[in-house]
Amino acid sequence: MPFFSPSILILVAVNLIPLGGVLFYGWTVFELLALFWAENVVIGLLNLVKMGTVLVLAGRKDALFTMPFFLVHYGLFTLVHGVFLFQMFSPAEDIDFAIFLIPLAALALSHVASYAVNFIGRGEYLRLTAQDLMTQPYGRVVALHLTIIFGAFVVAALGEPLYALALLVVLKTAIDLAAHVREHAKAQSKNDIDA
């Protein structure tokens, strides 16, 4: 995968939006975590679309059984993760969740672009099984959020200074980028093995 592929450029660009939220709109650690948690929901929903794609376009019938299992398993994982984040980091005052619409739409666009460029355009749907897709989001999400949650505790302990919040966004972007490259390189190597 070229390092400057359209999906990578979009990924980096949309991750600048939360950085702008921190630098120009005073976003807190909770607002960052809430946005990144909502991105997990997008990742899960798009993974269901990928499973549907391998079912319909690649004829992989195992997706019929994997899709409902993934929906329940990933849904519970995301729910528990969300409850934890909201319990640990939610401020006492009400949050205007409307501020997340544009950043979340941009993050979703990044994942949809990757789906179009890599999953469809590069034919990953022909190489990956529903079982591959069942586990695919977990490595990315777990590594990303363990790092972010640890970083959030550090940022909160420091009193949420601007530089620490900005560093948290940069760290998230770097991990997301590495996971993106690894995920698609793995799909490509699966093609090389199958060939």
Domain boundaries of the chain, sorted by first residue: 6-90+97-194
- Assigned token pair, 34: 């809430």
Q: Helices 162-194 & 130-157, crossing angle to 10 degrees?
A: 160
Q: What is the pLDDT of residue 168?
A: 84
Does residue 193 carry a pLDDT above 70? no
Coil, helix or strand at residue 168: helix
Does residue 175 carry a pLDDT above 50? yes
* 72 Cβ contact partners less than 8 Å away, ≥ 6 residues apart: none
- Answer for the pair 5, 170: CB distance below 8 angstroms, yes or no: no
Rounded Cα gap, residues 110 and 61, in angstroms: 28
Percent of the chain with pLDDT over 90: 43
Rounded Cα gap, residues 71 and 13, in angstroms: 29
- pLDDT, the chain, mean: 86
Q: What is the pLDDT of residue 192?
A: 55
Does residue 46 carry a pLDDT above 90? yes
Q: What is the pTM of this model?
A: 0.86
Rounded Cα gap, residues 74 and 70, in angstroms: 6
Rounded Cα gap, residues 175 and 178, in angstroms: 5
At residue 3 the predicted structure's pLDDT band, cuts being 50, 70 and 90, is: low
At residue 195 the predicted structure's pLDDT band, cuts being 50, 70 and 90, is: very low
CB atoms within 10 A of CB 38: 18
Residue of 152 and 135 predicted with greater confidence:
135
Rounded Cα gap, residues 58 and 65, in angstroms: 15
pLDDT digits (tens, 9 = 90+) for 87-143: 888 876 777 778 889 999 999 999 999 999 999 999 999 999 999 999 999 877 887
Does residue 148 carry a pLDDT above 80? no
Across 53-69, average pLDDT: 93
Across 166-184, average pLDDT: 86
Find tokens 């390189």 and name the residue. 185
Across 32-61, average pLDDT: 93
Rounded Cα gap, residues 87 and 78, in angstroms: 14
Q: Which amino acid is at 53?
A: T
- Answer for the pair 157, 180: CB distance below 8 angstroms, yes or no: no
Which of 7-11, 92-96, 152-156, 190-194 is predicted most confidently?
7-11
